[in-house]
Structure 1
Amino acid sequence: MDFKQYAAHIWAVADLLRGDYKQADYGKVILPLTVLRRLDSVLAPTKAAVLAEYPRTANLPPEMAEMVLNQKSGLSFYNHSPFDFERLISDPNNVAANLRHYINGFSQNAREILEHFEFDHQITKLDSANLLFMVLKKFQEIDLHPKTVSPLAMGYIFEELIRKFAESSNETAGEHFTPREVIRLMVNLLFLQDRDILTKKGIVKTIYDPACGTGGMLSVAEEYLHELNDEARLEAFGQELNPESYAICKADMLIKGHRADNIKLGNSFTQDQLPDAKFDYVLSNPPFGVEWKKAEKVIKAEHEKLGHAGRFGAGLPRISDGSLLFLQHMTSKMKNTAEGTRLAIVFNGSPLFSGAAGSGESEIRRWLLERDMLEGIVALPDQLFYNTGIATYIWIVTNRKALERKGKVQLLNAVSFSQKMTRSLGNKRNIITEGQLAEITQLYGEFQDGEHCKVFPNEAFGYRRLTVERPQRDDKGRPVTDKKGNPKADGSLRDFENVPLLEDADAYFKREVFPHVPDAFLDETKTKEGYEINFTRYFYEYQPLRSLQDIRADIMRLETQTEGLLNQVIEA
């Protein structure tokens, strides 16, 4: 079975829940039991060795006992309970007590996962409805052994189950995970210039996702690194706000033998659980257009008190969209060394241009560009994501640009690189194929102007916002002046002009304004600098209007068809 069939097979357990559970609550049973069954299957080969060793650890310090039992399990977690799924279903009359005993036998890092699912409530509910044994029996019959289901396939299954849960509860699946081809493209672009480094024997790198969801981005990054170098190790770190997504991500890390403690629970803005950590790679798909009012007090305090010594020194965006806060948080995790850090983040169109000169958004873009940290932006095809069909973009940010990229920004228009899916999933109707992924990656790596790619100096995205004034006039129409003879401005006639930084403001004024408004003058004390990236403008292609002859022919054809229909109605 492929992962969708596997997920459908697991989700079919919901047939037992119908009537006792609302459809929106199916996932509260199915998700934690899937995790539990997977943990059970992974531990099965070393279960006997752990049980034999456990009594001998009774007098050891907890840390030492844990280390010994982990060695016996061959993983970073274990279970010392005599129960497993086979033994649980062999005693139907005591299944609730035995299941709790089994869960309590897990090491703390694994037990915490089940606690964040709040699964103990479901044990009580299932037992009261006489469903617990039947549900456990169904899961016992599902083979989730690593030899049958690889870690990567298990990740796909988790994500498909979450999508089903999100659909059944009318939640947004996209809040939990990102399409695999989008992650793969982000990872391609992150690792693109580091292939020589990453293929070295025994290389160890770190990666971080501040909104890691179920860990999809971290998993794909690890998978790709192993394709480059099966001896390389990618130490994954993440933080997630949603307890269920956090629990699944942590379970995935445990199963793969990673340090599950690297995955943290909480709001990355207000509870940064890795405040001093720096990473080689940072990537994320934060929620689009989410307001940050709940975190406003903490974020503003850090901005005002710490400035650039904190995370949000560049500026604060409008309260309705925290996207650029995520970007600043991620840049704070960059290594300030020669190695530096590469960062990839998915945004909608808003962070490109929202906010006028002097606004928080514009100042953040200015900070990024003036420090030469924005390497490139890739416009993605529409309808790629499960929860939105709007335009999306991957930003690549780094503090170690290649020499040929210094002082420049690459824009890559990949909106046409997609293929229609045979069956849509929510709002996701398109997919980027393997061949298209390779082509986009190649175009980005070539770094040359062409049909899909344009390279600009950083300053090309900056502009001066000029305040154009016109004088007040008295009853006789003469300009009103101050004591120094300077004209007084009439606020009702005030206008503004945005002039590119690469163009001389006075020359622009004389050419574009003065010939049309001879009495206009600039108030240079009000000039502001701003930055925006009007992506669409750089790739706009003029579509000529249809000729009048073509339009007339269409109208005549429609009239002929309409006349025929009227005759049929009359004759009938």
Structure 2
Amino acid sequence: MDLNQQTTANISRLSSTFWNVADLIRDIYKRHEYGNVILPMTVIKRFNDVLAPTKEKVLETYENVKNLEVHDAFLRKASGYSFYNVSKFDFDKLLADADHIEQNFRDYLNGFSDNVQDIFNNFRFWQEISVLADHNALYEVIKEFNKPEAYLGADKVTTADMGYVFEDLVRQFSESTNEEAGAHFTSRDIVYLMCDLLVAEDADVLKSNGVVKTVYDQTMGTSQMLTCCEERLQMLDKDAKVKLFGQELNSQTYAIAKADALIRGADANNMQLGDTLSDDKFKGYKFDYCISNPPFGVNYKIEKDAVDKEAKQSDGRFTVGTPRVSDGQMLFDLNGLSKLKEDGRMVIVHNGSSLFTGAAGQGESEIRRYIIENDWLEAIIQLPESVFYNTGITTYLWVMSKNKSELRRGKVQLIDASGMKVSRRKNIGNKRYDLTPEVRDVITKMYGNFKEDEYSSNSLHCESKIFDNDYFGYTRITVESPLKDEDGNIITDKKGKPKADSKKRDYENVPLNEDIHEYFNREVKPYNSDAWIDEKKSVVGYEIPFTRVFYKFVEPESTEDIAKEIKAAEKDIMESLNKLFGEVK
């Protein structure tokens, strides 16, 4: 069986089976603590069932090599995975000795290889064993996880299946804690769209022969973005070798990502724990693709000192500029771009503020300028509202490439896909709409065709527009007016030049494709004949006026129609009053 392909295993049934363990521990744990037991136990059971077929071979090998200084490779080979367990116990044997369940369970967990021990440590599971044992619940929990319907062997449940199970469990855990589920994972319809955009222009290359591609997620959560991307690449070329790399701040979701990597047979060392902004685990690495959904609207006070320090380094990731401390999302643009190969591509999620926040010369504007003037911005796609679990706001996908196709050079494509949404039968958190396969196909094709176009069908609407890079740039000029005395005379300095009146200082944003003097003479001079430009203060800025370029004027109702509506409303009100109180004049 191909471990990366999804089977017909009932994902909901499996996740419900595990989450039902909550019934056993409800008197021991508060609802928001259930995941502290259920998530690590699911991982442990997966390891138990996956290793079962080679258990005896591993134990036999261990007896032969346990006295050797280096025996790890022998045991990995015996298990068939990059991890193993040398304890004599498994779930069946644990349940055969109820009187020593805690001691034996600890022995069983200690029998795992070091890379699995790291997962248990990040789950902080050891203390939960004591809590369960002290309340006589450990045996019952293990028994529940060992039921036939809880079987997680690789012959029945693939890694793709497990990804969905983990995702569903994390969602339920998040919802039970009133924590934002989207803080841990992005819904798969969005991830699939991001993956399709990421590889759209490489489809022909990927279909050729067993290529090797690297994919990096700087805020990987449970790593499902990475595994979805691997899935998409291997759909284009089943022989493609895809190496996944990711970094995650939350220790629990990192533990799930690492467990998933081990079971898939991937290099679990490519999954790293730490803060991407202040503790870059992949310094010097270069990747083919970067895909991520970083936090937006979140401050980076904790990382600020490290970010500012690196911003002062000539080879630092953040030398271009740093955004306001209240929202660090654009720092992930800089980190991601620093990690791309010369022909690499990135798709990243942002909210609307990244389009325009920050005046000319400020951090956000400087980051936009850096991206656009290097000709790395391919497209920005506006998604519908309410498609994420944890927010109902409008979001945008930024597609960036270090090596644009000749057709795209010097251009930026904006796609308004806010009308591409299909209502869900049941909301999940803030998610009220899905991006169905039809929706994703339309958006991906519109991006791939790279032309001004419009699509309308079955209540779905999408529109594409294309602009020169300099359309988004402007020069912020400082307009000075002279200082005058009480008689209205202009006050000059020793050189006879007018002194500027700081109270009358004004600013104008002049499009880059227009001469600032021509603009000044047309827009300012007729209304302020004494004004002048202080050219030493001119600064170039960039913003993306997404809403403005897709704005459509709607003709207001005529006064006659409005009057008719008012009269009709008055008539209805009077009829209602007459029914209640009798005839009213």
TM-score range, shorter chain: over 0.9
Partner of residue 3, structure 2: none
Give the drift of 1:240: 0.5
- Select which of 516, 531, 548 maps to 2:542: 531
Partner of 1:220: 228
Give secondary structure in 1 for the equivalent of 2:514: coil
Distance, in Å, in 2 between the alignment partners of 1:558 and 1:131 is 66
Aligned twin of 2:249? 241
1:430 matches 2:459: no
Counterpart Cα distance in 2 of 1:264 and 1:457:
39
Match of 1:56 in 2: 64
What is the alpha-carbon distance in structure 2 between the residues aligned to residue 56 and residue 449 of structure 1? 69
Q: Which amino acid aligns with 1:376?
A: A
CA distance in 2, matches of 1:56, 1:457: 69
What is the deviation of 1:143? Answer: 1.8
Aligned partners of 2:220 and 2:375: how far apart in 1? 27
The aligned residue for residue 531 of structure 2 is 520
Trace 1:230-269 onto structure 2 (pairs within 5 A): 230-269=238-277
**TM superposition shift of 1:571:** 5.4
Report the TM-score when normalising by structure 1: 0.96
| Residue 450 in structure 1 maps to residue 481 in structure 2 | no
CA distance in 2, matches of 1:182, 1:377: 14
Task: Specify the code of the residue in structure 2 equivalent to 1:444.
Answer: Y
Q: Structure 1: how far apart are the matches of 2:151 and 2:501?
A: 78
Equivalence for 1:459:
470
Structure 1 residues 274-283 or 214-223, which shifts more? 274-283
Provide the secondary structure at the position in 2 that maps to 1:235. Answer: strand
Matched residues, number: 565
Q: 1:485 offset after TM fit, Å?
A: 3.0
Whether the 8 Å contact between 2:453 and 2:464 is mirrored in structure 1 is yes
Deviation, structure 1 residue 200: 3.0
Structure 1 CA distance, aligned partners of 2:560 and 2:145?
68
Aligned twin of 1:483? 494
2:518, 2:433 → 1: CA distance? 47
Deviations 1:390-412 (A, max 9, x none): 11111111211111111111111
- Report the counterpart of residue 440 of structure 1 in structure 2: 443
Q: After the TM superposition, list the runs of 4 or more consecutive aligned residues in structure 1 that deviate by more than 4 angstroms.
A: none
Equivalent residue of 2:204, what SS? helix
SS of aligned partner of 1:453:
strand
SS in structure 1 at match of 2:453:
coil
The reply to whether residue 147 of structure 1 matches residue 161 of structure 2 is no
* Correspondence for 1:41: 49
- SS for the counterpart of 1:443 is helix
Provide the residue aligned with 2:564 in structure 1.
553
1:567 aligns with 2:578: yes
Provide the residue aligned with 1:76 in structure 2. Answer: 82
Are 1:347 and 2:340 counterparts?
A: no
SS at match of 2:60: helix
CA distance in 1, matches of 2:497, 2:182: 58
Where structure 2 has 5 or more consecutive residues not aligned to the other structure, the ranges are 1-8, 455-462
1:106 maps to which of 104, 112, 126: 112
Who is 2:281 aligned against? 273
1:51-450 matched pairs, under 5 angstroms? 51-62=59-70, 65-141=71-147, 142-304=150-312, 306-307=313-314, 309-336=315-342, 340-450=343-453
CA contact (8 A) 2:446 2:453 kept: no
Q: Which residue of 1 aligns with 2:6?
A: none
Deviations 1:358-394 (A, max 9, x none): 1011111111111111111111111011111111111
What secondary structure sits across from 1:414 in the alignment?
A: strand
Tell me the amino acid that sits aligned with residue 501 of structure 1.
Answer: L
Question: SS of the residue aligned with 2:340?
Answer: coil
2:522 aligned residue: 511
Q: Secondary structure at the match of 1:507?
A: helix
**C-alpha distance in 2, partners of 1:367/1:229?**
34
Q: CA deviation at 1:152?
A: 1.2
Deviation (angstroms), 1:532: 0.8
Farther-moved stretch of structure 1 (169-178 vs 510-519): 510-519
Task: Compute the displacement of 1:119 (Å).
Answer: 0.7
**What's the CA shift string for 1:422-476, capped at 9, x where partnerless?**
1000001111000110111000000001231111111111101111122222222
Aligned-residue offset at 1:487: 2.1
What letter matches 2:30 in structure 1? K
- SS at structure 1 position matched to 2:418: coil
Q: Decide which moves more: 176-185 or 85-94.
A: 85-94
Instruction: Indicate if the aligned counterparts of 2:385 and 2:393 stay in contact, CA closer than 8 A.
Output: yes
TM-aligned CA deviation for residue 59 of structure 1: 2.5
Partner SS, residue 335 of structure 1: strand
Q: Secondary structure at the match of 2:497?
A: coil
C-alpha distance in 1 between matches for 2:537 and 2:506: 12
Per-residue deviation at 1:512? Answer: 1.6
Give the SS at the match of 1:294: coil
- Secondary structure (helix, strand or coil) at the match of 1:97 reads helix
Spell out, residue by residue over 1:147-173, the C-alpha distance to the aligned partner (whole angstroms, 9 max, x if none).
Answer: 332211211111111111111111111
TM-score under structure 2 length normalisation: 0.94
The residue matched to 1:429 in structure 2 has which SS?
A: strand
Partner of 1:415, secondary structure, is: strand
**Following the alignment from structure 1 to structure 2, what is the Cα–Cα distance between the partners of residues 54 and 557?**
88
Q: Which moved more, 1:507-516 or 1:14-23?
A: 507-516
Q: Which amino acid aligns with 2:300?
A: W
Deviations 1:156-210, CA, capped at 9 Å, x for gaps: 1111111111111111111100111111111111111112222233221111111
- The percentage of counterpart residues that share the same residue type is 46
| SS of residue matched to 2:397 | strand
Q: Structure 2: how far apart are the matches of 1:67 and 1:401?
A: 44
Q: Please state how far the C-alpha of 1:56 moved relative to its aligned partner.
A: 0.8
Q: Which amino acid in the other structure matches residue 372 of structure 2?
A: L
Structure 1, 1-10 or 34-43: larger mean CA deviation: 1-10
Structure 1: state its 5+ residue gaps: none
The alignment's C-alpha RMSD in Å is 1.5
Please tell me the residue identity of whatever aligns with 2:411: K
Deviates more, 1:156-165 or 1:549-558: 549-558
The residue number in structure 1 matching 2:5 is: none
Taking the aligned partners of 2:12 and 2:239, their CA distance within structure 1 comes to 30
Q: Following TM superposition, by how much is the alpha carbon of 1:255 offset from its aligned partner in structure 2, in angstroms?
A: 0.8
